[in-house]
Structure 1
Amino acid sequence: MIGEFGHMNEKMAHKHLIDQPNVLIRIHKDGQILYSVRISLVLSCPMHLHDYPMDVQTCLIDLASYAYTTDDIEYKWKTEEPVQLKKGLEFSMPSFQLTNFTTTYCTSKTNTGEYSCLRTTLQLQRQFSYYLLQLYIPSTMLVIVSWVSFWLDRSAVPARVTLGVTTLLTMTTQASGINAKLPPVSYTKAIDVWIGACLTFIFGALLEFACVTYISSRNFYKSNKPSLAGHALHSTKSKSLTQPLTTPLLLPNSNFEHLTATSQLRNRPLQQEDNQNEVWVKQRNTESDVILMYNEESPSQLHREPGWKNFLKKLPAYRWIAKRLTIDDRAKRADYISRILFPTCFILFNIIYWIRYSRYQAQPQL
């Protein structure tokens, strides 16, 4: 009955026969028998790739009796050092690192009887340095390179389009090379989340340039409209509740409804000594029309800014950002906003991503 055992998760195996069968049998005086045979095995190990490439896999080696029940033969682990690891094992597994192993029993009961079984559980942690150098750092650099278009002039259309399309195609090629090494699975992996986010940021930079070009061309066509259209627009505005003013005005609430009907109101001063029911008028620095703002609920109450807003205005960073965003050119303003928005969102994504996936956890076996 010696050697009557099988590997339950075996895919392929063979005994070494060079130059003689590698088998050792030793019988001791006390009746103990040592039986040793050299076998090379290829075993199946179902893997869960949810956290790939920062995953920890649990693989099993099951040795069970095939034809003899526990009444005939029973396998037991050695008390001391039941599993011996060969020196230099870490060099033979470049993709994984053996972090832990345990021994247990997997005796099974079937219709034909109870069969003895030995189980070795191996915990394998995937080496992350390869993916860090081949995927994460290059893809991060591609995302940063796509932001260079925000600093280029919007009139440099060939440069910005070439930069966006090149980074997008490079990222797509890199993602295809990584996924070609993996089996197709129905769930989302950690590497899919990273690649999808990088593609989104690069594609977003390309869309931002399209929006900037559209806004710029729209402003250009607006500035070149015929003068007649401008006169017609001015005459239409003169009928509305607008007045060309250069100083802030204070209007009484009782006279607001008669502003357009009474022509005498235009000739007399609009500032009143009566401070009740005041209506504040929005003032612009230019000589353009000013729209009269009216609040029916509380016209006599002055609007005061909260303290936290005043505190923010005193910060140098807030003043620097506000200075960049108070430009009249909407296309240039979009580039300024993108210079701050895209890096900030990418940093926040990295914080959430690495907190979620950098914890190595062993996947349970089904």
Structure 2
Amino acid sequence: MKRFQLWLTVSLLTKFETGSGVSLKQSSRAPQMNNHQNISSLLDNLLRGYDNSVRPDFGGPPAVVEVDIMVRSMGPISEVDMTYSMDCYFRQSWVDRRLAFPGDTNDTLALSISMLARIWKPDTYFYNGKQSYLHTITTPNKFVRLYQDGRVLYSSRLTIKAGCPMNLEDFPMDIQRCPLKFGSFGYTAQDVLYRWNAARQVAIAEDMKLSQFDLIATPAANHTDTIVNSDTKSAEYSMLLVSFHLQRHMGNFLIQVYGPCVLLVVLSWVSFWLNREATADRVSLGITTVLTMTFLGLEARTDLPKVPYPTALDFFVFLSFSFIFATIIQFAVVHYFTKYGSGECYFSSDFSSDSSSDEEDWIESRENAPKEVSHSPVCKSSNYGSSNGGDPHFIEVIPLSACSIPVASMRRTSQPWSNLSCINRSQDDKNYHASPNKSTGSQKSPCQSQKHRKKKKKRTPRFNSVSKIDRASRVVFPVLFVTINLFYWYSYLSRTKRIVNLNVS
């Protein structure tokens, strides 16, 4: 009996607990089902009789569309195509009172993107856009919010590629202004007006960085365009305009163009310190720098469009090329005045009291040489010191073709060419050669009258002779290049207001 009573009590308790659990689950699901039913019925009531082809307040004041943009990234920016790209969140907001619903003012309905096909939305297009698209991975990146007063917020993630007309006269110290212009494609200003959101117009992500530019400003403004339609009737369209002010980085161009150009110009000045008789060395150095400068100038314009005007970089390349070319022209002038007998001092004579054995051997060989005066170099003491401004320490050298040098005697005596010395001859020397048979013992050689005087004189040639033009060029070329560079950099930096921006920052 007791066992039966215990079993009955346990069974009753089990049934009671099971019944209460079912009732609790049903009570918790009831509000959720009621909310779903309420929202569905609310949307059905809002869209009942709704025509999405008619704008809000049709027949009344124009619908106002507020727009704001959140820029996530920018680039690439192409100078060849004159375009730029950017990734942004494009948000549009408008009021459609047909979608207002009763409730708290803070109530917001997050709707599915399928609702966009059932409600009216502005036909916004980008006036200077070239290739824009909506991100669709993993789903179309857009959403819709519906507020209690009928305001609709429509946001989408877009990648916009738009045209940017660039003025490259100050390249690479330029500041470009790339506009983004958008508005309604079909509605005139009487139907739809575009306005920037007062709270936020154009926002830039804090972590956004550009490789070639710095974004220094984003001014935005409302704009109204008057467009002539195909029926020759003009209509005003409301549009919004934002300009992205981009300041180009100069570091890449300083490393790849400006630095090598300056080094090439300085390298061409090395020829001023080379021996002016080293024709092959100076010409090869000049030609090498010219060819390198030509290649560097062509490479600098690879990423630029073929504009009809010169850029700042073109001016600098042309300036460097001109200095290198002027170096070659300078050597041509120096080489012209380096000819024998041109008037410049080619050798210097240093006379010392100590006699040289080489000089004595040279004099003895001159005494033992054949007495045919017409076949020996002629020295004229009357012209010594007079043809060179009266300076007895300098001797002017004339071409060896002006002296008759006996080759056979040179082979017999085996005297080096450096021991031969020719001094300018006067008209008397020519007369002397014209009558060689009349020479007496005292007229063996015009040099014998000076033998004792020149016996203790030593002739020292200076092989690394320096031209006066080279000495002047060592100073004129660097000073002129630095002066032009200072004027170049100051004019372009102040023109592009980079100096002002640097002082402000």
Task: Judge same fold: TM > 0.5, yes or no.
Answer: yes
Contact 1:99–1:124, Cα closer than 8 Å, also in 2 = yes
User: Residue 28 of structure 1 aligns with which residue?
Assistant: 147
Shift in alpha-carbon separation, 1:190–1:226, aligned structure 2, 3 A: same
Q: Does 1:102 align with 2:224?
A: no
Structure 2 letter corresponding to 1:232:
Q
Q: In structure 1, how many angstroms separate the alpha carbons of the residues matched to 2:305 and 2:429?
A: 67
Worse-superposed segment, 116-125 or 159-168: 159-168
Worse-superposed segment, 353-362 or 114-123: 353-362
1:180 to 286, 292, 302: 302
Q: In structure 2, how many angstroms separate the alpha carbons of the residues matched to 1:234 and 1:95?
A: 77
Q: In structure 1, how many angstroms separate the alpha carbons of the residues matched to 2:328 and 2:428?
A: 36
Structure 2 letter corresponding to 1:223:
I
Per-residue CA deviations over 1:153-188 (Å, capped at 9, x if unaligned) read 112222212211111111111111111110011112
User: Between the two proteins, what is the percent identity of the paired residues?
Assistant: 33
Question: Secondary structure at 1:217's aligned position in 2?
Answer: coil
User: Residue 166 of structure 1 aligns with which residue?
Assistant: 288
Q: CA deviation at 1:213?
A: 1.5
User: Residue 235 of structure 2 aligns with which residue?
Assistant: 113
Q: CA deviation at 1:234?
A: 10
5+ residue gaps, structure 1: 236-328
Structure 2 letter corresponding to 1:185:
V
Structure 2 letter corresponding to 1:2:
K
Q: In structure 2, how many angstroms separate the alpha carbons of the residues matched to 1:70 and 1:226?
A: 97
Contact 1:23–1:38, Cα closer than 8 Å, also in 2 = yes
Q: CA deviation at 1:142?
A: 0.8
TM alignment of 1:338-357, pairs within 5 A: 338-357=473-492
Per-residue CA deviations over 1:321-362 (Å, capped at 9, x if unaligned) read xxxxxxxx9961111011011111101111110111112538
Contact 1:54–1:126, Cα closer than 8 Å, also in 2 = yes
Q: CA deviation at 1:205?
A: 0.8
Q: In structure 1, how many angstroms separate the alpha carbons of the residues matched to 2:128 and 2:281?
A: 57
Q: Does 1:40 align with 2:159?
A: yes
Question: Secondary structure at 2:192's aligned position in 1?
Answer: coil
Q: CA deviation at 1:46?
A: 0.5
Q: In structure 2, how many angstroms separate the alpha carbons of the residues matched to 1:9 and 1:196?
A: 36
TM alignment of 1:190-269, pairs within 5 A: 190-219=312-341, 223-224=398-399, 226=402, 230-232=425-427
Q: In structure 2, how many angstroms separate the alpha carbons of the residues matched to 1:331 and 1:123?
A: 55
Q: CA deviation at 1:112?
A: 4.8
Structure 2 letter corresponding to 1:134:
Q
Compare relative contact order (CA 8 Å, sep 6+) and give the higher one, 1 or 2. Answer: 1
Question: Secondary structure at 2:266's aligned position in 1?
Answer: helix
Structure 2 letter corresponding to 1:73:
V
1:10 to 129, 152, 170: 129
User: Residue 469 of structure 2 aligns with which residue?
Assistant: 334
Q: In structure 1, how many angstroms separate the alpha carbons of the residues matched to 2:193 and 2:483?
A: 57
Question: Secondary structure at 1:154's aligned position in 2?
Answer: coil
Per-residue CA deviations over 1:273-299 (Å, capped at 9, x if unaligned) read xxxxxxxxxxxxxxxxxxxxxxxxxxx
Shift in alpha-carbon separation, 1:234–1:27, aligned structure 2, 3 A: farther
Structure 2 letter corresponding to 1:195:
V
Structure 2 letter corresponding to 1:59:
C
Q: CA deviation at 1:195?
A: 0.5
Q: CA RMSD in A?
A: 2.4
Structure 1 letter corresponding to 2:152:
I
TM-score by length of 2: 0.50
Q: In structure 2, how many angstroms separate the alpha carbons of the residues matched to 1:361 and 1:350?
A: 17
Q: In structure 1, how many angstroms separate the alpha carbons of the residues matched to 2:323 and 2:146?
A: 70
Per-residue CA deviations over 1:92-132 (Å, capped at 9, x if unaligned) read x2111100111101211233522110110111101111111
5+ residue gaps, structure 2: 1-119, 228-232, 344-396, 405-423, 431-463, 498-505
Q: In structure 2, how many angstroms separate the alpha carbons of the residues matched to 1:220 and 1:350?
A: 37
User: Residue 196 of structure 2 aligns with which residue?
Assistant: 77
Shift in alpha-carbon separation, 1:216–1:18, aligned structure 2, 3 A: same
Structure 2 letter corresponding to 1:50:
E
Q: In structure 2, how many angstroms separate the alpha carbons of the residues matched to 1:215 and 1:98?
A: 58
Question: Secondary structure at 1:12's aligned position in 2?
Answer: coil
Q: In structure 2, how many angstroms separate the alpha carbons of the residues matched to 1:232 and 1:109?
A: 94
Q: In structure 2, how many angstroms separate the alpha carbons of the residues matched to 1:70 and 1:233?
A: 106
Shift in alpha-carbon separation, 1:36–1:177, aligned structure 2, 3 A: same
Question: Secondary structure at 1:38's aligned position in 2?
Answer: strand
Contact 1:212–1:331, Cα closer than 8 Å, also in 2 = no
Question: Secondary structure at 1:358's aligned position in 2?
Answer: helix
Contact 2:276–2:465, Cα closer than 8 Å, also in 1 = no
Contact 1:46–1:59, Cα closer than 8 Å, also in 2 = yes
Question: Secondary structure at 1:106's aligned position in 2?
Answer: strand
Structure 2 letter corresponding to 1:341:
V
Q: CA deviation at 1:233?
A: 9.0
Q: In structure 1, how many angstroms separate the alpha carbons of the residues matched to 2:301 and 2:216?
A: 26
Q: CA deviation at 1:218?
A: 4.7
Q: In structure 2, how many angstroms separate the alpha carbons of the residues matched to 1:231 and 1:202?
A: 43
Contact 1:216–1:331, Cα closer than 8 Å, also in 2 = no
Question: Secondary structure at 1:210's aligned position in 2?
Answer: helix
Structure 1 letter corresponding to 2:224:
T
Question: Secondary structure at 2:282's aligned position in 1?
Answer: helix
Contact 1:68–1:115, Cα closer than 8 Å, also in 2 = yes
Contact 1:54–1:360, Cα closer than 8 Å, also in 2 = no
Q: CA deviation at 1:145?
A: 0.7
TM alignment of 1:271-286, pairs within 5 A: none
TM-score by length of 1: 0.68
